[in-house]
Amino acid sequence: MIKSLSKITIMGILSAVVLGVPVTVSAQSTNKTASAPAAAPEAKSKPISFHSKVASVDKSAKTVTLDDKNKRTFQVTSETKILKDEKPATLDDVTAGENISGSYKKGEDGKLTLRSLYIGGKSGGSSKKKEKTDSTPK
């Protein structure tokens, strides 16, 4: 009788341990996932697109200021991709009053750094559609 009672006690303890292990393991994994979102804000920000006219260009400071209500000033770096008519261009090709579009990132210091700059805006092939509609037979 004592042997059967000790077997039941041992089986009860083992079953409690087996049932308790997944609870502690899942509790530990929950703590790890809670720390993962804290690391997310440290990741780099996504590029933000814009479209406006140029107010001024400072070639010595390598900046472009937009003619919009916020008067945003963008910093041009060596990594900025500048295109005009889908061909590579330089900051010298940008003039005041010209339409431009592109994307930028806001740095931790608050500076707006251009990633891409399309002089005259990005064409997107709209002129080809015009040619097709103009050449329809009458």
- Domains of the chain from N-terminus onward: 48-119 (2.40.50.320)
55 has pLDDT over 50: yes
Region 63-76: what's the mean pLDDT? Answer: 92
Region 46-52: what's the mean pLDDT? Answer: 92
Region 87-114: what's the mean pLDDT? Answer: 93
* CA angle, residues 61, 62, 65, in degrees to nearest 5: 95
What's the predicted TM-score (pTM) here? 0.56
CB-neighbour burial class of residue 82 (10 A; exposed 0-12, middle 13-18, buried 19+)? buried
